[in-house]
Amino acid sequence: MLTPNELELYAMPLGEPAMGEDPWSEFDKARAVHPWLAKWEGNGVVIHEYRAMRELFGRDDQLRPPYADVVGHLGQEGTPWGRFTQEQLISLPPEQHMLLRRALAARFTPRNANELRPMMRETISGLLDDWAPIGGERRKIDFEEFASHFPISVMFTLVGAPQEGIRLLRDDLEVIGLAHSYNLDLFPRIQEGIVRVEQFAADCITERRANPRRSDHVEDLLDILVRTGAENGVSDRQLVDLLMFFFIAGYDTSKNVLTYTMHTLLDRPEIYERCAADHDYCRKVIEEALRWFNPSTVARYVDTEFTYRDVTFPKDTMLFFPLSISGRDPGTFPEGWTFDPERTVEPDKRHLAFALGRHMCLGQYIARAQLQEALHQVAQRMREPALAAVPGWRPFPGAWGIRGLPIAFTPAREMEPEPA
């Protein structure tokens, strides 16, 4: 059995700017050399086939989260970002991780996400009142900037935080999301952002403990965290880290997926128009959008040597899973380049946007709900959208996506009724 270092593999330029703009041609080159493996020189092995990602990513007993190792790899030990990265929820030992996850899981169900939909609708409606006022003239905006305000506004509402802090924290979350692009020049700004987000989270918890809400209020996320901490012996530091984690994890996925979905639908006006009229159809569009694109390239280290399809992976090999491109793997999705919200999806070919295994995204139902609600109202309020300038791209590793999506649109002339 050969190890990846003994195989002839395509060297992928994952950290190069061109990779963010067009990763697809690079993965075509990788497949021409090996059907499911490539390499990122100096970093690790890239698993680029859907089947291999699905079968390997869930091996929780043989793989470990990379965060403690990555902090050392990037020379960030002893920094605010390094500490948080090594101690956040997904970095904890399995026993601690599952304890906290089980304690929180009951409030992250599809039912609970649906209970949040009226708040989500009110939030996106308020943003659209500012960015796309009813009856206005045709205008131009950066849709990516608009989209960035929605997930953080929802999170602020979920924890009862003052909305005035959104703009500052939005800028911090934007740069923190670039940490795993492996660009060391960004880390001074990333450290500043982590310090501010940590202080904000600590202040939220302190304020809620000092001024608990009335018992007849429905629990929000902050209530759940504070109660979970008291019932399970969670330290104040872990509570702050949990709240930071929800802010950071919830920001990039929703913002980038909503932006890329708009970019995709600019060339598919018939789908976009139907999204304005059909609330349930938006759910199908979002699921197809998550197959078509998601921002994540996730890493794991081999904790116990294993062999898969005649390749032996030694302990401490770093594996990169570009979940972002998995849904268009030609071996699994022969018509993967057709954007079809009505496609029939077999259980073993579901998209991997929210990962697999014990680290599957806890907030996936909230993310799905807010993306559906946002798409429906955006399609109602931003009519006849068109690309106004060439978009930019974020680095491919880490949280990939569009950086700046200038569009022109005509605001709706009247409000549409809310879905029943």
Domain CATH number, residue 405:
1.10.630.10
Report the pLDDT averaged over residues 149-167.
86
pLDDT at 147: 96
Report the pLDDT averaged over residues 233-252.
87
pLDDT at 272: 99
Instruction: Tell me the C-alpha distance between 16 and 152, whole Å.
Output: 29
Q: Is residue 174 pLDDT above 80, yes or no? A: yes
- Rounded to the nearest integer, the mean pLDDT of the chain is 91
Within-domain flag for 378: yes
- Residue 399 in contact with residue 256, Cβ under 8 Å? yes
Report the pLDDT averaged over residues 393-409.
94
From 26-35, 352-361, 391-400, the region with the lowest mean pLDDT: 352-361
**Cα–Cα nearest to 254, from 78, 123, 87, 104:** 123
Domain housing 169: 4-411
pLDDT at 218: 65
pLDDT at 394: 93
CA Rg value for the chain: 21
Q: What is the DSSP letter of 331?
A: T
Instruction: Tell me the C-alpha distance between 121 and 129, whole Å.
Output: 12
Within-domain flag for 90: yes
Within-domain flag for 420: no
Cβ neighbour number for residue 222 with a 10 Å cutoff: 22
Confidence of residue 420 (pLDDT cuts 50, 70, 90): low
Q: Is residue 312 pLDDT above 80, yes or no? A: yes
Structural tokens at position 232:
């399970």
From 182-196, 225-239, 247-261, the region with the lowest mean pLDDT: 225-239
What is the four-CA torsion angle of 117, 120, 126, 130, rounded to 10 degrees?
A: -130
From 109-113, 143-147, 283-287, 386-390, the region with the lowest mean pLDDT: 109-113
Beta strands in 116-214 (DSSP E): 139-142
Residue 334, exposed/middle/buried by CB under 10 A (0-12, 13-18, 19+)? exposed
From 253-262, 322-331, 349-358, the region with the lowest mean pLDDT: 349-358
- Residue 209 in contact with residue 226, Cβ under 8 Å? yes
CA 20 vs CA 135, 181, 184, 261, 328: distances in Å: 37, 10, 17, 17, 16
Q: What is the pLDDT of residues 43-93, one digit of tens each?
A: 899 999 999 999 999 898 999 988 888 899 899 999 999 999 998 877 877
Instruction: Tell me the C-alpha distance between 261 and 285, whole Å.
Output: 9
Confidence of residue 215 (pLDDT cuts 50, 70, 90): low
**Cα–Cα nearest to 245, from 323, 177, 320, 324:** 177
Within-domain flag for 157: yes
Within-domain flag for 45: yes
The interaxial angle of helices 364-381 and 279-292, nearest 10 deg, is 120
Within-domain flag for 203: yes
From 60-74, 300-314, 323-337, the region with the lowest mean pLDDT: 60-74
Provide the phi-psi class of 181: left if phi over 0, else alpha when psi is between -120 and 50, else beta.
Answer: alpha
Amino acid letter for position 178: L
132-143 in b/e form (b: 16+ CB < 10 A) is: beeeeeeeebbb
Q: What is the pLDDT of residues 104-142, one digit of tens each?
A: 787 788 998 998 899 999 999 999 999 999 988 999 999
What is residue 120's three-state secondary structure? helix
**Cα–Cα nearest to 299, from 124, 57, 37:** 57
pLDDT at 417: 63
The interaxial angle of helices 269-277 and 364-381, nearest 10 deg, is 100
Entry pTM: 0.92
Question: Is the alpha carbon torsion for 129, 134, 140, 144 positive or negative?
Answer: positive
The interaxial angle of helices 269-277 and 279-292, nearest 10 deg, is 140
pLDDT at 216: 61
- Percent of the chain clearing pLDDT 90 (strictly above): 64
Residue 238, exposed/middle/buried by CB under 10 A (0-12, 13-18, 19+)? buried
Number of structural domains found in the chain = 1
Instruction: Tell me the C-alpha distance between 127 and 138, whole Å.
Output: 17
Within-domain flag for 416: no
Q: What is the pLDDT of residues 248-302, one digit of tens each?
A: 888 888 999 999 999 999 999 999 999 999 999 999 999 999 999 999 899 999 9
Q: Is residue 416 pLDDT above 70, yes or no? A: no
Within-domain flag for 418: no
